[in-house]
Amino acid sequence: MTLKIVQVGDPILRQAGSPLTPDEIRSASTRQLIDVMRETMREAPGVGLAAPQIGESIQLAVIEDRPEYIKDLSQDQISERQRSSIDFHVIINPVMSIVGDSTAEFFEGCLSLTGFVGVVSRSVRVIVNCLNEHAEPVTIEAEGWYARILQHEIDHLNGTLYIDRMDTRSFATVENINRLGANPRPQRGTKSAKDLD
């Protein structure tokens, strides 16, 4: 079973999600929600999905960057993005800290803005403290593409979309990026990237 993904303009995407208690996290309904979110994310396909994107205003997101999403990238692209496969996992009630000053610009897309991308500058390294699906505390230290995914999903949990952070001159349809190449901004070089969530 999969769910319909909420599209931009729906007010739920602009609300901060409510935190979950340990009992709520361990409930059968949350376990079922996580299973459905995993299948919805995979069918889309995407590398992350936040609960507000399926109409649930709670602090929960699922993440997975499957090997098949990376197999068509060149070694240069993989290296440039600092990208590797990421096993499926859940983040709940995340608190993120930025590590260092390094940032990187890449195109991002979103399953809630189907067919569009924009260049977003994100921190290269982050630390996220959260709970997992068993309500156990977890600390995630991430860099590169994984750090970007975490920032994108945590933004969703706080009512922020990538379009709030993008270079507005880079906003383009996926069709035009594929047709014209990865640089819709002739005055500045940018890097292309597969849609995030």
Active site residues: 153
Residue 61 buriedness (CB in 10 A; 0-12 / 13-18 / 19+):
buried
Alpha helices in the chain (DSSP H): 22-25, 28-43, 67-70, 75-81, 144-157, 174-180
CA distances from 127 to 87, 141, 147 (A): 17, 5, 8
Question: Is the Cβ–Cβ distance between 160 and 152 less than 8 Å?
Answer: no
